[in-house]
Amino acid sequence: MRYCIANWKMNLNISESIDFIRSLSKKNLQNNKTTIILSPSFTSLSDVSKGLKKTKIQLGAQNVNSNTHGSYTGEISVSMLKEFECGWVILGHSERRQYFNEEDVILNDKLNTVLANGLNPILCIGESFDQRKNNETFSVLKHQLDIALNNIEIGNNKILLAYEPVWAIGTGLAATTDIISEVINYLKEYLMQNFSLNIPILYGGSVSKENSSAIIDIKGVDGFLIGTSSLDVNEFYDIYLNMIKR
Ligand code: PEP
């Protein structure tokens, strides 16, 4: 299975989200080998969930709290997400790591809560520009995985890993196919050897209709996590079409 995932971040209000799904659901989405997941803002989850009811498009959230309930002003729990039939949740996006101090230990807690409550996590990892320049890419990725995945129990859930080099996010400069291939190979091997995990690995970072065919052709790339290009329904659909053609 391949995954074409939209991360709308803090964009698209309710009416814009509804317009998007109206347009998307009119298109041919019959490919069974590619799952589309839309991750709107929390405030749009309810309407998007209703709008997706008769479609095969799935619903994701952009974050969740590691506690199941309690005095955590401004936070959202797993059971609140499940009320909207939200099956997926993005964890560890670099923007949350950077602006909200989300560290790997917090992600480990979140992964435990999410998995224990039957949601499917999309875990994001990636190195910064300086870390790549200093040849620290693999040690950074290893560290992020070691802590986030420590003692997690996946059970019957699905878990996806998104390799998102921080320097490629929102910059218009996607990683080269050589870099993506090298990192994905490393991650596949590391996950198997250290966690006995064989899970889908996605690429994220300035994916566009222009570069998506070349990236999806890379062995081991199981889909995309898409920010900017997911805000325009036609561009997002073009990327989906590029995925299903290959
Ligand atoms: C993202 O935010 O996960 C992302 C990949 O953004 P963009 O596609 O804009 O680089």
Cα angle value 167/170/174 (rounded, 5°): 60
- Cβ neighbours of residue 6 closer than 8 Å, sequence gap 6 or more: 36, 37, 38, 39, 226, 230, 236
DSSP H helices, the chain, are 14-25, 45-51, 78-82, 94-99, 104-116, 129-133, 137-148, 177-195, 212-216, 233-245
Does the beta carbon of 7 sit less than 6 angstroms from any atom of ligand 1? yes
Q: What is the pLDDT of residue 78?
A: 98
CB 110 within 8 A of CB 150: no
127 is catalytic: no
pTM for the predicted model, two decimal places = 0.97
Please report how many Cα atoms fall inside a 13 Å half-sphere around the Cα of residue 89, on the Cβ side.
29
Average pLDDT value over all residues in the chain:
97
**First and final C-alpha spacing in the chain:** 13
Among the listed residues 75, 164, 182, 210, the single catalytic one is: 164
Residue from 12, 207, 231, 235 whose mutation best tests the ligand 1 pocket (most atoms within 8 A of CB)? 207
Closest ligand 1 atom to 224 CA = 5
Structure tokens at 57: 């498009």
CB of 206 sitting under 6 A from ligand 1? yes
Determine the Cα angle at 207 with ends 88 and 109, to 5°.
30
Residue 69 annotated in active site: no
> What are φ and ψ of residue 136, in 5° steps?
-105, 5
Taking only the tens of pLDDT, the chain with its 246 residues reads: 999 999 999 999 999 999 999 999 999 998 889 999 999 999 999 999 999 998 999 999 999 999 999 999 999 999 999 999 999 999 999 999 999 999 999 999 999 999 999 999 999 999 999 999 999 999 999 999 999 999 999 988 999 999 999 999 999 999 999 999 999 999 999 999 999 999 999 999 999 999 999 999 999 999 999 999 999 999 999 999 999 987
Nearest Cα residue to 14 out of 42, 38, 36: 42
